[in-house]
């Protein structure tokens, strides 16, 4: 049997490992650190009239629980536009009852045969066009604001230049490891899009908590450039229109929204398939930046384990890995404090590896099948 000397390729493998570690450190300190160490100025209450837009399809129970909290916001002038997307539960009766109680709710009923497109984009576009005011605040039926200052906080970042405000849509902490995975992945996504926006490279937002100008939506012809994609009413639109000067971030705890995380792995898997299916439509710059981070992390883990088996310069290999790990912990700790995410830091390396293994599987499963419905 021929003996293979793996030490011959060690110098190349070693320097590839060091390069991947360096790339990871650059991401954490030069990009993600921007959010971790960011300090916002005191909010100026501008009092712009705001239209909150919500799409609902068979969301009777969520609307009953969450909609009154939105209608009772402490804000001088706002309306709540609810698009009833051909619900066949008791949604319409609930909305009619709320309409008699609240004068600032506007109901838009959409019949089944009117939505010729798959996904949420058509009903959402209809709700946006039905909105009275220029400044729009979007959320989902299953989301609730942290308190009565949600509109005040999210709209406080609007200005003549700032047409987009990126917010944070949290998931409620619950029992089980899956809940920690969901909350960790959501927090990491927020850290990324907040950090890139602060760095002048905004690339996405989440529809659970997102604000932008109606004129921006109209000027860019809404979702027409990606109507063929079922998902992406939030991140694809923001990827298309967000720029360095027109985007603001809002992460004050009063600006958060909450919703319940998926309780089964199957539900979460379907949700992630839908979310990850739109990444290929991002701008090339954003795909390169996001992809480089993921690939470099994969290389770090793979070569770290391989180099350990060689037992050559092991202290350098381990020291570089530990330095990268401590950098990650420092950045995540400060970021999690801002996002009020608890009990995630210590298990973050484990979850990160799990997601690293799951994402490629989800990606390849999307090549086989597609998720075409939003409900």
Q: What is the pLDDT of residues 112-171, one digit of tens each?
A: 656 566 678 999 999 999 999 999 999 999 999 999 999 999 999 999 999 999 999 999
Residue 138 falls inside a structural domain: yes
By C-alpha distance, which of 93, 33, 101, 32 is closest to 58? 93
Higher pLDDT, 105 or 1: 105
Q: Decide if pLDDT at 13 tops 80.
A: yes
How much is the average pLDDT of 166-180?
96
Confidence of residue 1 (pLDDT cuts 50, 70, 90): very low
- Reported residue count of the chain is 375
Same domain as 133, residue 65: yes
Same domain as 195, residue 73: yes
Mention every residue, 6+ apart, whose C-beta is less than 8 A from residue 341: 170, 183, 184, 187
Q: Decide if pLDDT at 248 tops 90.
A: yes
Residue 374 falls inside a structural domain: no
Residue 350 falls inside a structural domain: yes
Same domain as 293, residue 170: no
Whether the pTM exceeds 0.95: the reply is no
Mention every residue, 6+ apart, whose C-beta is less than 8 A from residue 330: 36
Confidence of residue 200 (pLDDT cuts 50, 70, 90): very high
Domain boundary among 247, 262, 277: 262
Q: CA-CA distance, 289 to 244, in Å (whole number)?
A: 16
Same domain as 156, residue 191: yes
Same domain as 238, residue 171: yes
By C-alpha distance, which of 276, 269, 305 is closest to 290? 276
**pLDDT given at position 117:** 63
Report yes or no: 36 and 199 within 8 Å, Cβ to Cβ: no
Q: What is the CATH number of the domain that holds 202?
A: 3.90.550.10
Same domain as 88, residue 31: no
Residue 173 falls inside a structural domain: yes
Mention every residue, 6+ apart, whose C-beta is less than 8 A from residue 141: 54, 55, 56, 59, 62, 63, 66, 67
**pLDDT given at position 272:** 84
Same domain as 81, residue 10: no
Same domain as 218, residue 123: yes
Q: CA-CA distance, 66 to 176, in Å (whole number)?
A: 24
Q: Which residue has the tokens 């830091």?
A: 345
Per the structure, how many domains does the chain have?
Answer: 2
Q: Decide if pLDDT at 35 tops 60.
A: yes
Q: In what order do the strands lie in the sheet with 50-56?
A: 105-110, 78-85, 50-56, 135-140, 210-213, 164-166, 247-249
Q: Decide if pLDDT at 206 tops 90.
A: yes
Residue 149 falls inside a structural domain: yes
Domain boundary among 227, 262, 297: 262
**pLDDT given at position 373:** 53
Q: Which structural domain range is residue 94 located in?
A: 50-262
How much is the average pLDDT of 18-40?
97
**pLDDT given at position 282:** 94
Same domain as 167, residue 130: yes
Same domain as 150, residue 207: yes
Same domain as 241, residue 98: yes
Comparing 40-49, 84-93, 177-186, the range with the smallest average pLDDT is: 40-49
Residue 44 falls inside a structural domain: no
Report yes or no: 214 and 51 within 8 Å, Cβ to Cβ: yes
Looking at every residue in the chain, the average pLDDT score rounds to 91
Domain boundary among 195, 228, 262: 262
Residue 42 falls inside a structural domain: no
Same domain as 302, residue 210: no
Residue 271 falls inside a structural domain: no
**pLDDT given at position 5:** 47
Report yes or no: 235 and 180 within 8 Å, Cβ to Cβ: no
Higher pLDDT, 226 or 150: 150
Report yes or no: 54 and 140 within 8 Å, Cβ to Cβ: yes
The percent of residues above 70 in pLDDT, for the chain, comes to 93
By C-alpha distance, which of 206, 181, 340, 199 is closest to 261? 181
């Amino acid at each position: 049997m021929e003996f293979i000397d793996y030490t011959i390729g060690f110098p190349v493998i070693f320097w590839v490992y060091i390069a991947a570690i360096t790339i990871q450190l650059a991401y954490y300190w030069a990009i993600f650190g921007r959010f971790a160490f960011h300090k916002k100025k005191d909010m100026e209450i501008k009092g712009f009239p705001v239209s909150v837009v919500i799409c609902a399809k068979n969301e009777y129970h969520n609307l009953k629980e969450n909609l009154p909290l939105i209608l009772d916001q402490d804000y001088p002038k706002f309306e709540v536009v609810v698009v009833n997307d051909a619900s066949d539960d008791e949604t319409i009766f609930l909305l009619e009852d709320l309409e008699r109680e609240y004068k600032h709710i506007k109901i838009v009923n959409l019949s089944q045969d009117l939505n010729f497109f798959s996904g949420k984009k058509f009903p959402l576009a209809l709700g946006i066009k039905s909105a009275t005011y220029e400044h729009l605040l979007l959320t989902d039926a299953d989301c609730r604001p942290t308190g009565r200052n949600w509109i005040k906080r999210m709209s406080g970042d609007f200005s003549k230049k700032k047409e987009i405000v990126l917010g944070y849509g949290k998931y409620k902490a619950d029992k089980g490891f899956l809940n920690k995975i969901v909350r960790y992945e959501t927090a990491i996504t927020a850290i990324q899009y907040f950090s890139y926006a602060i760095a002048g490279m905004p690339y996405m937002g989440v529809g659970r908590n997102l604000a932008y100008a109606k004129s921006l939506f109209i000027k860019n012809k809404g979702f027409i450039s990606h109507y063929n994609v079922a998902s992406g009413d939030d991140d694809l639109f923001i990827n298309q229109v967000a720029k360095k000067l027109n985007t603001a971030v809002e992460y004050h705890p009063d600006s958060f929204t909450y919703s319940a995380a998926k309780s089964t792995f199957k539900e979460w898997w379907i949700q992630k398939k839908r979310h990850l299916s739109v990444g290929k439509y991002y701008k090339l710059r954003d795909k390169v930046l996001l992809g480089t981070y993921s690939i470099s992390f994969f290389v770090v883990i793979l070569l770290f384990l391989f180099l350990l088996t060689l037992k050559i310069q092991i202290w350098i290999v381990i020291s570089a890995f530990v330095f990268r790990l401590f950098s990650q912990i420092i950045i995540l700790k400060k970021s999690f404090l801002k996002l009020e995410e608890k009990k995630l830091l210590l298990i973050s390396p484990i979850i990160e590896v799990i997601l690293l293994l799951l994402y490629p599987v989800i990606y390849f499963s999307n090549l086989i099948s597609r998720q075409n419905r939003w409900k």
